[in-house]
Chain A
Amino acid sequence: MFNQGGLSLEQAPPISVVMKFFITASIFGLLLGLYLLASSSGLLTYSAYAYKVTITHFLALGVMASFMLGALFQMLPVIAGVVIKMPTKKSMVVHVLLMVGVFLQLFAFNTSISLLYLFSAIILGSALLHATTLMIKELLNVQDHSSSSKGMLLSLGSFTVAIVFGIYLLLTLGGYIKGDAFAQVKEAHYSFALFGWVALLVVSVSFQVVEMFYVTPKYPTIMSKYLVTTIAMLLVLKLIALFTSLPTVGIDLFLALLFIIYGVITLHRLYRRKRPTSDATVWFWRLGMGLLIVSMVITALGTISSIDEGLKMLSYLAFIGFALSIVFAMNYKIIPFLTWFHLSNQGYMEAPMMHDVIHPKKAKIHFYIHVAMLLAWTLFILFNPPMVDVLASLLVVLSFGWLLYHLIFAVRKYNYTQKHTEKMEW
């Protein structure tokens, strides 16, 4: 009865669903590091525009979307009670199209070949819209929404808006449509992707994960009840303002302040946590929240006064650091747990314990690499000393390489246990 398709596994997708997204994300991260290394060491030269959009989309789609979609396939059944039927098949479609789409898009940005823009719009658009619509459809059937499931729904809704706008931008760049509203759509695309998709998803997940996994005091009710809806409403208001040429400064300021309050409250929850462990995941969460606050303080400053380009770059870097820190924190919990969980559910008595899959010390080393990488880029942005961008790029390679190695190690451990250890038939 309780075999591979055992009771608990009826809700959880096979481990391969999550693993393939996480491994792909790490490979994209590694490639991003190599791209940065090639450009910082002068091996390759690109236009400033191509360089900027390539890095942004390597990170936003190749790394973040892969991680976050993989995590959602796993977390939706647990956090929202949503069961995605045939997860292997559906996730494979998303996964393959996403990989192909990201590469096509990156080649389009770097070659400006019109057809590549068209193909990337179709393939990437199909991959992402397929993922968001299938998840949204299931989430809409949830009867008792928690703040987390509601936040996930709004986050996926924001992602859908960002994708549709992204398709518009790609078709404009390819010369297929006139793109009269290019500037407004671009601004809306970024806002919905960063504040809506990425930040809203982190907020939603944290309402469950921080409280429950670290045994912290509850988030204030006003925050868990209204924050995600308020952020989504502000994004809609911003969209209206952008298309009616009204100022958006007030909305940006309000959004930034909300995220600052959220960051401070989360740090305070973590400080008052009952669980004494101070493993790497706690440090990744602390760092992530600190960086979110830094990024949003600069954003808020930028809405009330003019700030120089260096500060703006720091704000972007802090936001990237925030998103990656949370993703890494989740990785180091999810992967060892799933490896143990699936193997023990299948009846393998020698299923490796979490620390045998990825030891906390290894995760801590990744934390140090991640911090060093962020410091190196900060140094580069502020003082631009020679060779520091090469060092920073190398640290990007090392950071994702380190994660990739441990993900592959987990897969090998999983396969080894299945092949070489005794299975108990229930």
Chain B
Amino acid sequence: MIISNYMRTEHRACDEIFAAAEKHVIDGDFEQAEKQFLLFADDTLRHFKKEEESLFPTFEEITGSTEGPTRIMRFEHEQVRGLIGKMAEAVENKDKDAYLSLAESMMILLQQHNMKEEQMLYAMCDRTIPQDVKESTLETMKAIEL
């Protein structure tokens, strides 16, 4: 379960930074909110990059399919990227209501995406990718930067 454990830990870490940014927005501290939000955006986008450039291609190569769950996950990444852009705009404009409204959509979108990955895709990766390939994929992912 090395893939599941590593990726799930990253999901949870992003959730915590997201919550911290939201707290600063509620408190009206937009300077700190922006810092935390940028941290969240960086970590989320780096996580996506790890999946799109390393994990998904490995999975697709082994299963011989690019039309399965990875296709849906890539599309959902695009949706999240779109929302990150809108949230960045809201935090820059210090627009509390818009930020909180977008944050609500982001949270549900991200969580339902994470659920699918954690319960299906990562479990499938752990089951189908050979151990040595899993280990090398994990090392590659750890080295990926934005």
- Whether B22 is near chain A, meaning CB under 8 Å from some CB there, is yes
- Whether B32 is near chain A, meaning CB under 8 Å from some CB there, is no
Least Cβ–Cβ distance between A54 and chain B, in angstroms = 37
Interface of B is mostly: helix
In the complex, the answer to whether B116 meets A81 with C-beta atoms within 8 Å is yes
A134-163 vs B: 1/0 string, CB under 8 Å?
000000000110100100000000000000
In the complex, the answer to whether B26 meets A276 with C-beta atoms within 8 Å is yes
- Whether A59 is near chain B, meaning CB under 8 Å from some CB there, is no
In the complex, the answer to whether B23 meets A276 with C-beta atoms within 8 Å is yes
- Chain B interface: which size bin? 20 to 34
| Bound-state Cα–Cα, A344 to B105, Å | 11
In the complex, the answer to whether A353 meets B120 with C-beta atoms within 8 Å is no
In the complex, the answer to whether B105 meets A353 with C-beta atoms within 8 Å is yes
Task: Contacts A8-B75, A277-B26, A341-B109 given; indicate if A353 touches B116 (C-beta within 8 A).
Answer: no
In the complex, the answer to whether B75 meets A353 with C-beta atoms within 8 Å is no
Chain B residues, CB < 8 A from A336: 104
Least Cβ–Cβ distance between B28 and chain A, in angstroms = 12
Question: Please, how many residues of chain A have a CB less than 8 angstroms from a CB on the other chain?
Answer: 33
Task: Contacts A8-B75, A277-B22 given; indicate if A146 touches B98 (C-beta within 8 A).
Answer: no
- B92-129 with Cβ < 8 A to chain A: 97-98, 100-102, 104-105, 107-109, 111-112, 114-116, 119-120, 123-124, 127
- B74-97 with Cβ < 8 A to chain A: 75-76, 79, 82, 97
| Bound-state Cα–Cα, A298 to B77, Å | 48
Chain B residues, CB < 8 A from A344: 79, 82
In the complex, the answer to whether A337 meets B19 with C-beta atoms within 8 Å is no
The total number of A-B Cβ pairs within 8 Å is: 83
In the complex, the answer to whether A78 meets B112 with C-beta atoms within 8 Å is yes
In the complex, the answer to whether B105 meets A354 with C-beta atoms within 8 Å is yes
In the complex, the answer to whether B100 meets A333 with C-beta atoms within 8 Å is no
- Whether A72 is near chain B, meaning CB under 8 Å from some CB there, is no
- Whether A274 is near chain B, meaning CB under 8 Å from some CB there, is yes
- B21-50 with Cβ < 8 A to chain A: 22-23, 26
In the complex, the answer to whether A212 meets B104 with C-beta atoms within 8 Å is no
Chain A residues, CB < 8 A from B71: 7
In the complex, the answer to whether A340 meets B105 with C-beta atoms within 8 Å is yes
Chain B residues, CB < 8 A from A354: 101, 104-105
Out of A143, A149, A215, name the residue touching B18 (CB < 8 Å).
A215
- Whether A379 is near chain B, meaning CB under 8 Å from some CB there, is no
- Whether A39 is near chain B, meaning CB under 8 Å from some CB there, is no
Task: Contacts A78-B116, A79-B119 given; indicate if A341 touches B75 (C-beta within 8 A).
Answer: no
